[in-house]
Structure 1
Amino acid sequence: MPGEIGTVGELFMLKVLTVLSLALVMNAALAGAALAQQTQVRIAVALEPPTLDPTANAAEAVDIVVYQNVFEGLTRIDENGTVQPGLATEWTISEDGLTYTFTLAEGVTFHDGSAFDAEDVTFAFERIVAEDSLNAQKALYEPIESVTAVDPHTVEITLKRPTGTFLFDIGRPDAVIVAPESAENNARVPIGTGPFAFVQWDRGSRVILERNDVYWGERPALTRATYLFIGDTATLTNALLAGDVDGTNNMAAEVLDVFAADPRFKVLVGTTEGEVILATNNAREPFDNPKVRQAMAHAIDRHALIEGVTYGYSQPIGSHFAPHNPYYVDLTGTYPHDLDAAKALLAEAGLPDGFSATLKLPPVAYARMSGQILASQFAEVGIELELINVEWAQWLEDVFTNHDYDLSIVAHVEPFDIGIYADPDYYFGYDNPEFAALIETLNATTDDAERKDLAIEAQRILAEDAVNGYLFELAQTGVWDARLEGMWQNSPIEGVVLRDIRWVE
């Protein structure tokens, strides 16, 4: 009996140990799987890209996925809008500002294994400026006179005239370097030199990228990134709360409080390149009178607009410049909200009882909501606005092309686009030779300190002339798993850049 009891006891203990061992193995496997998962990220974006070639399509959705991830340029733009080295590790500029000599990174390969060298750079830029080019920003690269491969790791670019934004412009998604062997197929199968390589595109659902383990630069922490296309706010909210996605670069402002109150998430609120303006037809009465424009500027309550339109998630602006740009200056105090000052200026302009005008609004929520609030604010000083809702095609024809409008509301999203005010034929109808001369000098200046001074002066002129009503900068409102770090808070250029994103427990 004692022997039988001992045998049974031993068998029981053996079963217990076996179960415990299996549990330990399973726990270890689950822990390993969890650890492996923490090198992958699932990012929800609002729109599916129509193509994956940023050099042949203007859609921001393309750049969101591939810029600085799959494709790289000679330079790159960082989170602050500053130019950084890219495939060019350094460069020199001739005294006349016309010749740029770039030293290229060595040991770089495209994702298909082909080597990167100076000939790829010449091919990429010749493709951009070619007569049949599909590049959406082709005009930016018109100053290029020639691109010469001096040797495999040196490229010389000669310009027709000095262009102060040239280093920034070649860091845009439109100027990434593509190879002649693969360029034709980049729309479907993008092949670049970046830290992530394209894996698959499930149309209507997702794009998957994987880490390029032979990347020439610093290897990112992530091994895989999946971009999921979720355009509906309710669906995206549910996906985040359920843990089906790890974050999104831009969440609708009306639901941000849900995530701000949940410790599982972090909300990153920054700026974009979208300056929301009350576009004003300076060539049409009474807006050709600066006093009228200044009166309207005094009538605008930016903070009420921001609360009403973006739930407080935007930054007021006083001129046509993004607050994250190192050249930005805060000019919101130029014409503070002051109804008495507005009425006095209208009286000086010969309009003591105010006037009536039309406000054409494109089909985006920020414009139409801003229009309703501005109409109420302007009514307080005697300016009666008729709100006219139009679709984009009509807006482009009436406002942008034919200049058939009084006022409109729209976001200008191109980086560093203050130069549009130097063109009297642009739809604002602003004709200021002094400003145009300033922009010409700015465009020809390469010294950064001098460029900053000129850019600040340009901002001041626009603010003081109240060329448009400067309202607010569209916010980037990212919602992310609280354990993630390295995401861009600001968006000075299109893209969800993966290189610095990592999980932190």
Structure 2
Amino acid sequence: MKTIKSIIGGAALLLAAGTAALAARTDLVVGVVLEPPHLDPTASAAAAIDEIVYANLFQGLTRVGRNGAVEPSLAESWDVSEDGKVYTFKLHTGVKFHDGTDFDAEDVKFTLDRARAEDSTNAQKQLFAAIDTVEAVDPQTVKVTLKTPQGAFLYNMGWGDAVIVAPESADGNKEKPIGTGPFKFDSWAKGSAVRLVRNPDYWGDPVALEKAEFRIVPDAAAAIPALLSGDVQAFPQMPVGDALSQIESDPRFVVKIGATEGETILAMNNGKEPFNNLKVRQAIAHALNRPEIIAGAGYSEAPEIGSHFSPANSAYVDLTGTYPYDPANAKELLAEAGYPDGFKATLKLPPPPYARQGGEVVASQLRQIGIDLQIIPVEWAQWLEQVFKNKDYDLSIVSHTEPNDINIYARDDYYFNYSNPAFKEVINTLDVTSDPERRADLYKTAQKIIAEDAVNGFLFQLPKIGVWDAKLQGLWENSPIQANDLTEVKWTD
């Protein structure tokens, strides 16, 4: 009898151990729509880079958390001078880069000086324009002196473009990223997946996941079977197509519809005829039927926008009525602009479904007022090179997922080719204003100026349709910054 009890007891222990092993799953496959052009967030505007590396591989002095607030990261604390111009950051000790080199104040100085240098390739170089000097006071202290006070400076330091890199490895980060984060780069199978592994030497709280794979799943036709089969366990931003109700009714999954910073626009080249003509841009604005475009793009949950600003922001102004859908008025404006018979133009569309599918609807709507668009599909790398960098385009559709980025309309060399001194003055004032109420008023004024100028066709705010295994915890419901932060993700029973 004792032997039988021992056997039964041993089997129970084995069963318990097996159950514990199942409950302690530590791997995760995350589906993402776009493959990044490379993996260096300080050298490209592509959101697909930050969606993999932000907070996971790379870290900044500060970070933007899941609720949109600025939080400490590599800087454990900071002091600000009374005049708002000097920031003294106290850095965490014992931090190492993934290649084993030490992180210290010299790395911060290198990163910020590199980002603001004349030959900088940082896509958001403007974030660092207010910096006058960066001083490594001692290994754990950095003093940053600004030319003028900047209300958003700590927030700016939380962007992916401001992550800290080391001089020893910075040049190789595109293919072999080396940061200070809780995950390390493992491999990249081009066209398929980027794989990360847990960093055993991480300076902060260890992550629960041992392995994480970001798998490229470009559309609903591939995403839905991957989810249902369990090959992919989470889609932070799922191309769900018409299957949303089916997935919502399946108890194996959680569906979270949240907000993003993704202003989806019909971008216009304001520096090129005929789009340098306000009446032409107004005509295009009147020709856009937003509900049809939203339905065609496959995002029935998306809120309409009338300017480049998120409806989730407290300073948002509803300007969708500035140029209401009115094809007859659009035709009159085209005639007044000297185009009674319309004109031909090109529409370059990057890979996301909101662009490719929404672009078909936009082309159909503009055709009704006499604008004949040639649709040119381009890959993401081509879009970045042709449209964003070289401004070689007429029209395009893209979601701008950077946080609070209305200031891009004040940049002289930005791909919209838009210039308005009054708008620049508002943004310049905003940069040196810290009072929340005054900043909100300035944001509202800025929204109205670009809406009235019809700089772009403002379409909708990209919703975040997150779908993942019901046993997963810690994924973000909203996207206050372009990131798929896995630092708090774990499996439950």
Band the TM-score falls in, shorter-chain normalisation: 0.7 to 0.9
Q: Per the alignment, in what secondary structure is the counterpart of residue 476 of structure 2?
A: coil
Q: Percent identity of the aligned residues? A: 46
Q: How far apart, in 2, do the equivalents of 1:428 and 1:442 lie?
A: 21
Corresponding residue of 1:90: 77
Q: Equivalent residue for 2:344?
A: 358
RMSD: 3.7
Question: In 2, distance between residues paired with 1:293 and 1:167?
Answer: 36
1:426, CA displacement in angstroms?
5.2
Q: How many matched pairs?
A: 484
**3-state secondary structure, aligned to 1:254:** coil
1:302 Cα deviation after fit: 1.3
What TM-score, normalized by structure 2, do the two folds share?
A: 0.83
* CA pair 210-23 structure 1, distance change in 2 beyond 3 A: same
470, 480, 491: which is aligned to 1:492?
480
The yes-or-no answer on 1:439 pairing with 2:427 is yes
Q: Structure 1: which 5+ runs fail to align?
A: 1-9
Distance 2:77 2:436 in 1: 16
Equivalent of 1:223 in 209, 224, 227: 209
Paired residue type of 2:373: L
Aligned-partner residue type, residue 285 of structure 2: A
Native 8 Å contact 2:23 2:492 kept in 1: no
Q: Is the 8 A contact 2:23 2:491 kept in 1?
A: no
Question: Which residue is 2:373 aligned to?
Answer: 387
Which digits, 9 at most, give the CA deviation of each residue in 1:200-233, with x for residues without a partner?
22635441321657533x554x232411423354
CA pair 19-125 structure 1, distance change in 2 beyond 3 A: same
Distance 1:398 1:223 in 2: 38
* Distance of aligned partners of 1:212 and 1:171 in 2 relative to their CA distance in 1, 3 Å threshold: farther
Distance 1:287 1:118, change over 3 A: closer
Matching of residue 175 in structure 1 with residue 165 in structure 2: no
Contact preservation (8 Å) 2:63, 2:70: yes
Q: How does 1:82-121 map to 2 (within 5 A)?
A: 82-111=69-98, 115-121=102-108
Q: Which amino acid aligns with 1:238?
A: P
SS of the residue aligned with 2:228?
A: helix
Which of 475, 481, 505 matches 2:463? 475
Residues 1:331 and 2:322 aligned together = no
Q: Distance in 1 between matches of 2:175 and 2:419?
A: 44
CA contact 2:302–2:463 (8 Å) conserved in 1: yes
When residues 177 and 241 of structure 1 are mapped into structure 2, their CA distance, relative to the original with a 3 A threshold, is same
Secondary structure of the residue that 1:155 maps to in structure 2?
Answer: strand
Describe the superposition over 1:376-416 as per-residue Cα deviations: whole angstroms up to 9, x where unpaired: 44566xx12212122545996589756774x5434344443
Q: Which residue of 2 aligns with 1:54?
A: 41
Partner Cα distance (1:134, 1:287) in 2: 28
Check 1:283–1:146 CA distance in 2 against 1; reply closer, same or farther (3 A cut).
closer
Q: Could you tell me how far 1:264 is from its partner in structure 2? A: 0.7
| 1:79–1:490 Cα contact (<8 Å) kept | yes
- Letter paired with 1:166: F
SS state at 1:70 partner: coil
Is contact 1:65–1:227 with CA below 8 Å preserved after alignment?
A: no
**Aligned runs of 1:31-430 on 2, under 5 Å?**
31-37=19-25, 39-47=26-34, 49=36, 51-56=38-43, 58-111=45-98, 115-129=102-116, 134-180=121-167, 183=170, 186=173, 190-194=177-181, 196-198=182-184, 200-201=186-187, 203-204=189-190, 205-210=193-198, 212=200, 215-216=203-204, 218-220=205-207, 222-233=208-219, 234-254=221-241, 256-257=243-244, 258-280=246-268, 293-294=281-282, 296-337=284-325, 342=329, 346=332, 350=336, 355-364=341-350, 365-378=353-366, 383-392=369-378, 401=390, 405=394, 407-423=395-411, 428=416, 430=418
Cα distance change, pair 292–128 in 1 and its aligned pair in 2 (3 A): closer
Output the CA distance in 2 between the equivalents of 1:337 and 1:359: 21
Structure 2, unpaired ranges of 5+: none
TM-score, L = length of structure 1: 0.81
Q: CA deviation at 1:303?
A: 1.5
- Equivalent AA in structure 2 for residue 278 of structure 1: L
Match of 1:457 among 445, 454, 457: 445
Within 2, Cα distance between the matches of 1:61 and 1:399? Answer: 15
Q: Distance in 2 between matches of 1:458 and 1:297?
A: 18
